[in-house]
Amino acid sequence: MKKWVLGVVIFAAGAVAVGAVNAFFEYTNTTEFCTSCHTMQWSKAEWMETVHYKNRVGVKAEYADCHVPKEFFPKVAAKIIAVKDIYHHLIGTIDTKEKFEAHRWTMANRVWEKMKATDSRECRTCHEFADMDLTEQVRSARRKHEAAAMEGKTCIECHQGIAHSLPKEPES
């Protein structure tokens, strides 16, 4: 076979593979997909009661906006790590509301630690200190945001429970 034909075949296969991966990411980034397991219905119901779902300006933060990085390699890593959620759903670790709540503290802390490690990367897609008009905020929020920016704090350090109910801390 001529080398140029092989090159065209490899290029075409690569283009199809990239398209397939992109389509997979687009589909699995939808809120409908992410909340399709019954174990996610409890989190979805909580989210629907927050300002991230319904607010005065009509901007809705979807599941992927908060839980999936925009950059390619962090997104791939997040998709791979998310397989554990499917696994635990299938083996029954969190298949009832009671089991879900029993594991909720651990799951929430895992997410909070990841958010701290990434400087609340997904939050900052919409909320960035540099873009905030602090003069438009109420005094207490303005003071807290100014202090947080100066101290290098990240969103999740103050805003736990903003989109989902706070889990109950396990008794010692």
Confirm whether residue 126 is marked as ligand binding.
yes
Confirm whether residue 127 is marked as ligand binding.
yes
Confirm whether residue 132 is marked as ligand binding.
no
Pick the closest to residue 157 from 94, 112, 109, 118 (CA basis): 112
Cα 136 to its chain centre, rounded Å, is: 27
Whether 34 and 40 have beta carbons less than 8 Å apart is answered as yes
Confirm whether residue 52 is marked as ligand binding.
no
Confirm whether residue 40 is marked as ligand binding.
yes
Amino acid code (one letter) for 25: F
Whether 66 and 52 have beta carbons less than 8 Å apart is answered as yes
Confirm whether residue 85 is marked as ligand binding.
yes
Confirm whether residue 34 is marked as ligand binding.
yes
Which single residue is written with the structure tokens 């736990």?
Answer: 160
Radius of gyration of the chain (CA): 20
DSSP 63: H
d(CA 125, CA 70): 9
Binding-site residues for a menaquinol: 85
Name the binding residues.
34, 37, 40, 66-67, 85, 123, 126-127, 155, 158-159, 164
Annotated binding-site residues for heme read: 34, 37, 40, 66-67, 85, 123, 126-127, 155, 158-159, 164
